[in-house]
Amino acid sequence: MWSLSSISNAIHTWLNETFNPTWAMIFEMVIVGVCVIGLFAVLGLVLVIMERKVAAWIQIRLGPNRVGPKGMFQSMADTVKLLVKEGMTPNGVDKFLFNLAPLIAMIVAMLLMAPIAFAKDFVMWDLNIGVLYVTAVSSITVIGILMAGWASNNKYSLMGAMRSGAQIVSYELSAGLSILTIIVFTGSLNISDIVLSQANGWWIFKGHFPAIVSFVIFIIAVTAETNRAPFDLAEAESELTAGFHTEYSGMKFALFFLAEYINVFIVCAIGATLFLGGWMPFHIGNWEAFNHIMDYIPSGLWFFGKTFFLIFLIMWFRWTFPRLRIDQLLNLEWKYLLPISMFNLLLATALAILGWHF
Amino acid sequence: MFIVNYIKEVLSAVRSLLVGLRRTGYYFTHHKEIITEQYPDNRDTLKMADRFKGEVVMPHDEKNEHRCTGCTACELACPNGTIKVITKFDISPEGKKKKAIDKLVYHLELCTMCNLCVVACPSDAIVMAQTFEHSVFDRASLTKILNNPDSKIMEGVE
């Protein structure tokens, strides 16, 4: 299988030969940082236009179709608009926290990128507890949101933030348990190991019934964790104007907006890694010829294809289901998702111990 | 039997969600029946619905005759004084006086397109037209006189 490690190794050796190790390290960090920021910008643009097009097509509309070919530059025009707008800080707000909150939301999204395997041998930080890291860091998002809601000094913002807090804290449980189901099968928290363990088939096929159930629960839980409809109570346009980012404008609002989309990308990437094999091509057991043909498709393409499929699924949810009420939201988590995922985890453990998975 | 009901509930919930997803998925994949009207571009081919109410007009036939008897039913029916009927008395050849309209003044800027005047008209003299590009630079041009100059009432309309 062709891999990107040759390029990264070449850059690494060249930097180490040219500069001393400290400077080489710093340069590598700068390169990675620039790549991440570039990826953020591209993802923001692509996901916004994708969301608007998916929404339009589902509602039998045309969507943006004026700027550029078929409206494809619409999100760029919107970005330019947001960049030149005034970043207002209203009078009554807690200025420090108010300006810090969008940065926290953004930094969390950036941190989450670190352990994700984008292609074969193409990971920023291949740490041995990658999945744990992601679940741990992703809960910092709620601090950014609560900070924004509190610092805004606005009822709607605070209500949105509190709802978001309740929501993220409760849905993290079932997201974590459904992730655990796969961890039980693989026996490793390292994302590269998890991907490699799917070389003879993705977990959603290999893990039988428990894997499918945990996939469904994972998708529901991450939709709630990223505050997207039908779980968008934190923003709830029709009730709270815009929830926690009511008072934000210009680029500070854009950072929240971008962070939401990046979070969607990251949770979908995690979902694709755990359940759909990450960058691993579609392999069926021992069919050598078939597997070999699948290997010709670059691994990065597989990763982004699966991730975007999951993102499309989440967008599809958004434009199909009505928003839940707060009590329905908590009922769904505590009465349905959590017991089911606990039982499911038990079942998966039994399967793993008995060795019934492929 | 709690657990059976619980499982049934979950399954029916999943099924109803799938029904919704199938519907929106159908719309997403059948990307032909677009309801968006790209208005200024399709101005030539734009087809308004029959029930669309744009403004009140008084149709005249080719002999420049209308059906309005000047009964002022529309003026009385109008909730916000949009219509003003100015009547006159025609002298018929036999020397009898007959009530007729001089002007039927219609203030488009006051009209809410409620259709009550059209419903109230006993002789179907006024109808709703489908025009909708009403913006003008001078407010005076929104005050319209619905009957054509020198128009007469149609034979046989009482």
Q: What is the pLDDT of residues A115-148, one digit of tens each?
A: 888 877 777 778 888 888 888 888 888 888 888 8
Q: Sorting pLDDT into bands at 50, 70 and 90, what band is A224?
A: confident
The answer to whether residue B75 sits within a structural domain is yes
The answer to whether residue B120 sits within a structural domain is yes
Confidence check: pLDDT of B1 > 70: yes
* B5 in contact with chain A, both atoms CB, cutoff 8 A: no
Confidence check: pLDDT of A312 > 80: yes
Question: Phi/psi at B124 (nearest 5 deg)?
Answer: 55, 45
Query: Rounded distance, CA A233 to CA A171, Å?
Result: 13
Q: Which residues of chain B does A320 touch, with a Cβ-Cβ cutoff of 8 Å?
A: 20-21, 23-24
Give the residue numbers spanning the domain of B109.
55-153
Q: Sorting pLDDT into bands at 50, 70 and 90, what band is A26?
A: confident
Range with lowest mean pLDDT among A41-45, A84-88, A270-274: A84-88
B21·A316 Cβ contact <8 A: yes
Instruction: Name beta bridge partners: B64.
Output: none
A60·B33 Cβ contact <8 A: yes
In the prediction, which pLDDT does A2 show?
Answer: 62
Confidence check: pLDDT of A357 > 70: no
In the prediction, which pLDDT does A296 show?
Answer: 76
Q: Sorting pLDDT into bands at 50, 70 and 90, what band is A23?
A: confident
Contacting residues for A132 by C-beta, under 8 A, at least 6 apart: A189
Query: Rounded distance, CA A3 to CA A144, Å?
Result: 37
Mean pLDDT of the B89-94 span: 76
Confidence check: pLDDT of A358 > 70: no
Nearest chain A alpha carbon to B11: A336
The answer to whether residue B104 sits within a structural domain is yes
Confidence check: pLDDT of B134 > 80: yes
A54·B28 Cβ contact <8 A: yes
B149: cis peptide before it, omega within 30°?
no
- Name the residue among A60, A317, A340 with its Cβ closest to that of B27: A60
Helix count (H) and strand count (E) of chain A? Answer: 16, 2
Q: Sorting pLDDT into bands at 50, 70 and 90, what band is A165?
A: confident
Confidence check: pLDDT of A52 > 70: yes
The answer to whether residue B143 sits within a structural domain is yes
Q: Sorting pLDDT into bands at 50, 70 and 90, what band is A3?
A: low
Choose the mutation target among B2, B5, B28, B29 for the interface with A, i.e. most A CBs under 10 Å. Answer: B28
pLDDT per residue as tens digits for the range B56-83? 888 888 888 888 888 888 889 989 888 8
Nearest chain A alpha carbon to B28: A58
A316·B24 Cβ contact <8 A: yes
Q: Count of CB contacts below 8 A, A vs B?
A: 33
Percent of chain B with pLDDT over 90: 3
The answer to whether residue B8 sits within a structural domain is no
Closest CA–CA distance from residue A311 to any residue of chain B (Å): 15
Domain count, chain B: 1
Q: What's this model's pTM, rounded to 2 decimal places? A: 0.81
Q: Residue by residue, what is the 3-state secondary structure of B104-132?
A: EEEEHHHCCCCCHHHHHCCCCCCEEECCC
B20·A320 Cβ contact <8 A: yes
Nearest chain B alpha carbon to A66: B38
Q: Which residues of chain B does A316 touch, with a Cβ-Cβ cutoff of 8 Å?
A: 21, 24-25, 28
Closest CA–CA distance from residue B16 to any residue of chain A (Å): 11
Give residue for tokens 């999951």.
Answer: A310
The answer to whether residue B158 sits within a structural domain is no
Q: Which residues of chain B does A319 touch, with a Cβ-Cβ cutoff of 8 Å?
A: 24
On whether the CB atoms of residues A199 and A283 are closer than 8 A, the answer is yes
- Name the residue among B23, B24, B34 with its Cβ closest to that of A62: B34
Query: Rounded distance, CA A13 to CA A8, Å?
Result: 9
A58·B28 Cβ contact <8 A: yes
Mean pLDDT of the B7-16 span: 88
- Name the residue among B21, B33, B36 with its Cβ closest to that of A320: B21
Mean pLDDT of the B122-142 span: 87
Range with lowest mean pLDDT among A107-116, A287-296, A304-313: A287-296
Mean pLDDT of the A101-105 span: 87
Q: What is the CATH number of the domain that holds B92?
A: 3.30.70.3270
Query: Rounded distance, CA A120 to CA A94, Å?
Result: 45
A54·B35 Cβ contact <8 A: no
B25·A340 Cβ contact <8 A: no
- Name the residue among B10, B20, B38 with its Cβ closest to that of A321: B20
Q: Which residues of chain B does A62 touch, with a Cβ-Cβ cutoff of 8 Å?
A: 34, 36, 38
Q: Taking the CA atoms of chain A, what radius of gyration do you get in angstroms? A: 21
Mean pLDDT of the B7-36 span: 86
Query: Rounded distance, CA B154 to CA B99, Å?
Result: 13
Chain mean pLDDT for chain A: 83
Determine which helix (DSSP H) or strand (DSSP E) holds A246, and give its type and residue range: none
- Name the residue among B10, B27, B35 with its Cβ closest to that of A336: B10
Percent of chain B with pLDDT over 70: 99
Mean pLDDT of the A326-348 span: 86
**Degrees (nearest 5) of the Cα angle B146, B149, B154?**
75
Residues 16-55 of B with CB under 8 A from A: 17, 20-21, 23-25, 27-28, 31, 33-36, 38
The answer to whether residue B102 sits within a structural domain is yes
Closest CA–CA distance from residue B121 to any residue of chain A (Å): 40
Instruction: Give the highest mean pLDDT range of A28-32, A189-193, A276-280, A312-316.
Output: A312-316
Task: Pick A357 or A273 by higher pLDDT.
Answer: A273
pLDDT per residue as tens digits for the range A183-223? 888 888 888 888 888 877 787 777 778 888 888 889 888 88
Q: Which residues of chain A does B17 touch, with a Cβ-Cβ cutoff of 8 Å?
A: 321
The answer to whether residue B123 sits within a structural domain is yes
Mean pLDDT of the A172-176 span: 86
- Name the residue among A57, A320, A336 with its Cβ closest to that of B31: A57
Percent of chain A with pLDDT over 90: 0
Where do the structural domains in chain A lie, given as residue ranges? Answer: 90-354
Query: Rounded distance, CA A304 to CA A117, Å?
Result: 11
Nearest chain A alpha carbon to B38: A62
Q: Sorting pLDDT into bands at 50, 70 and 90, what band is A1?
A: low
